[in-house]
Copies of this chain bind each other. A is one copy, B any other.
Amino acid sequence: MLKARIFVQLKPSVLDPQGKAVTNSLHSLGYTSVTDTRVSKYIEMNLCETDEAKAAEIVNSICDKLLANPNTEHYEYSIEKVGD
């Protein structure tokens, strides 16, 4: 069994309204030392595969086809063995 840890983040040039809202809320709550916040998706995925190279190929394809919007987001991932 392999576990993929996938980060899907907005590209740095893309405005993050959710992050901006969090920053504004934090300023309202008195946390004035927070200057910038970016909110992203983090996805953990188990795969019934033993070959890490094959799993990487699958995860790449999954990110391209389903998880990330190529216009506004980029992704990165790592793959590790878990359990047996």
| A38-B41 Cα distance, complex, nearest whole Å | 10
Asked if A45 meets B41 with Cβ closer than 8 Å, knowing A29-B65, A29-B66, A62-B31, the reply is: no
Whether A68 is near chain B, meaning CB under 8 Å from some CB there, is: no
A: contact size bracket:
20 to 34
Whether A84 is near chain B, meaning CB under 8 Å from some CB there, is: no
Among candidates B7, B58, B61, residue contacting A42 with C-beta atoms closer than 8 Å? B7
> Which chain A residues in 28-54 approach chain B with CB under 8 Å?
29, 31, 33-49
Whether A22 is near chain B, meaning CB under 8 Å from some CB there, is: yes
Taking CB as reference atom, which chain B residue is nearest A44?
Answer: B38
Task: Report A49 CB to chain B, min CB distance, Å.
Answer: 5
Whether A72 is near chain B, meaning CB under 8 Å from some CB there, is: no
